[in-house]
Structure 1
Amino acid sequence: MEKTIFITGAGSGLGKGAALGLAEKGHRVIAPVETAPQVTSLREEAKAKGVDLEVFKMDIKNPQDLAQMLEYDFDIFVANAAINEGGPLAEVPMMNFRELFEVNVFSTLETAQIAARKFVEKGKGKIIFISSMAGITTTPYVGPYTATKHAIEGIAATMQKELEGFGVQVATINPGAFDTGFNDRSAEAKWKWYDEGIHFTKKEDMQEADQALENQFDSADMIAKMIETIPLDSHKYRTVYPPETEKQMKEEEAKLWDMEI
């Protein structure tokens, strides 16, 4: 059945792929993006693919932009907009850390609150938070992003319990490491402020950790999983992909129960 799906952060990466793919499947897709140039770019891509997408600028940190959400009626809300930046937690500049929380947690929750009010009024609807494997697992020097996604996991699980009685579904989608460029940009960002002469974290340790980015999964597979899952009337609360990432997440979580320090 055709659904109306509102997906934030549709200007790039997995969000963009999912927005275009869902539209190709015949769903009505409302696809706001962060910046004005992304509006032009996504509209052109949709036109080239022969699909209808409702594209406009909506920076989720901007209250005026956010007010546009009130004008739309939709069945499913996908909280996908996010930014990413790496670096050692003991030394990351707090300004950078706060910015990640501003976008990935505070503004994301604000969008979900708007969707929740709409759905409660209708007595039905679904909110999907695009979390991450980083919502459950931890990786050295990915701490700022990991902290925000752990917060999203807490928000999603709590809202699921609070909204169920109103007929509103809440779920998460947790991608592994995919080659959208999102993780690579994050790894690069820390080198803007890191100074070997000032910081105690070893440059070599961070460079070694960055090498893991050489083996990322093909984003087309994750996009296909999102296109399949998002419109469903019923599915698992947490959708992790690929399966090896789900296994890794479960194993790492189990280890914490027995780990001693």
Structure 2
Amino acid sequence: MTETVLITGCSSGIGRETALSFLADGWEVYATARNPADVETLGEEGATIASLDVTEDDDVERVVSRIVDEHGHVDCLVNNAGYGQPGPVEDVPVDRVHDQFDVNLYGPLRLIRAVLPHMRERGTGTVVNVSSAAGRIAVPGMGIYCGSKFALEGVTDSLRGEVAEYGVDAVLVEPGPVDTDFHDRANGEIEGIERSGAYERFYQMYGDRQAVDGGMPGAVSPKEVADTVLDAANVQDPDPRYPVGTSAKVAEYGRFVPAKWRDRLYETFSELSTSDWAKKLFG
């Protein structure tokens, strides 16, 4: 019996590469995105494509029901759809916070609630939630995004213990910086937030250094993340967490560093990022 996977956010980057990795491994792949035109090429590669907005309950129910009708089961759910909302906490309007959590947290929850009854009935299945190193260590200037990923981590940790007796696994994949267009999308989200004028150094730091995307040293490729997701789906007893890349692995240990030390490190990084010599070096 061919195993079936539902992947969200397949228009580019990690989601697209994850779909290709599962296809190469012989899975029946349902590759989804809000705009089906964005995943047409995956259809040409052999995936079944579908429109899916993770913030819409009807979309979620429609796609999951379709998979069950066509194949009878969902073996793996990969919650990859997400984006980053930059900006100091004070500057991000509450409606933007809601939008961030609607995609990064409530979206995965909608999918999980839709697939779990089918997984429990069969006594097998894997839920892979694509989180971030920022779900383990929060950084100034990205508090809302970090909050959404911290929440996803907490939900997944609880879920793992709840579904284990039914033969279902819940796994977190935690990449550090990834060489994708994440930075471009995040920059777009800066427009429209309410700048108080108190935190310009953070805007300058992220703008000058491209500190939230693959421009950072140690960025990994989307393929490396995708292969990690596939590994998590294939093993009998997956690890609870899979950090991907050096930055993510460092973040695992960074949680044990006293908060005051981390705060000082961020302050030093911010000062260096906005200094004249750093602009010449990285600008």
Q: TM-score range by the shorter chain?
A: 0.7 to 0.9
Counterpart-to-counterpart distance in 1, 2:22 and 2:89: 37
Unaligned runs of 5+ in 2: 68-72, 264-283
Cα distance in 1 for partners of 2:229, 2:167 equals 22
Other-structure match for 1:208: 205
User: What is the Cα deviation at residue 240 of structure 1?
Assistant: 0.6
Matched-pair contact (CA < 8 Å) for 1:131–1:153: yes
Indicate conservation of the 8 Å contact 2:141/2:202, yes or no: no
After the TM superposition, which segments of 4 or more aligned residues of structure 1 sit over 4 Å from their partners? Answer: 257-261
The alignment status of 1:223 with 2:220, answered yes or no, reads no
Displacement after TM superposition at 1:141 (Å): 1.1
TM superposition shift of 1:201: 2.7
TM-score norm. by structure 1 comes to 0.87
Which position in structure 1 is the counterpart of 2:250?
Answer: 248
Deviation readout 1:219-248 (Å, 9 max, x if unpaired):
333233333333322321100111x22432
Offset of residue 202 of structure 1: 2.7
Q: CA deviation at 1:179?
A: 1.5
Q: Find the aligned partners of 1:129 and 1:163 in 2 and give their Cα distance.
A: 15
Aligned residues between the structures: 251
Q: Is the 8 A contact 2:76 2:127 kept in 1?
A: yes
In angstroms, what is the RMSD of aligned CA positions? 2.2
Helix, strand or coil at the partner of 1:86: coil
Matched letter for residue 53 of structure 2: D
Q: C-alpha separation between the residues in 2 aligned to 1:188 and 1:105?
A: 20
Q: Map 1:47-86 onto structure 2 (within 5 A).
A: 47=44, 51-68=45-62, 69-72=64-67, 73-86=73-86
Flag the 1:71–1:205 CA change in 2: closer, same or farther, 3 A. Answer: closer
Give 1:234's match in structure 2, choosing from 234, 237, 249: 237
In 1, distance between residues paired with 2:221 and 2:24? 20
Question: 3-state SS of the aligned residue for 2:77?
Answer: strand
Query: Structure 1, residues 86-136: CA drift from partner, whole Å, max 9, x if none?
Result: 110122111111101112112220111111111111111111111111111
- Structure 1 vs Structure 2: percent identity of aligned residues? 22
- Provide the secondary structure at the position in 2 that maps to 1:15: helix
Offset of 1:70 from its aligned partner? 2.1
Which runs of no fewer than 5 residues in structure 1 stay unpaired?
none
In structure 2, the CA distance between the partners of 1:259 and 1:155, relative to structure 1 (3 Å rule), is same
Instruction: Please state how far the C-alpha of 1:71 moved relative to its aligned partner.
Output: 2.7
Which residue identity lines up with residue 88 of structure 2 in the other structure? P
- State the partner residue of 1:100: 100
Residues of 1 paired with 2:65 and 2:262: CA distance? 49
Residues 115, 127 of structure 1: 8 Å contact kept: no
Partner in structure 2 of residue 185 of structure 1: 185
**Contact 1:78 1:129 survives alignment (8 Å):** yes
Kindly indicate whether the alpha-carbon contact (under 8 Å) linking 2:93 and 2:194 is maintained by their aligned counterparts in 1.
no
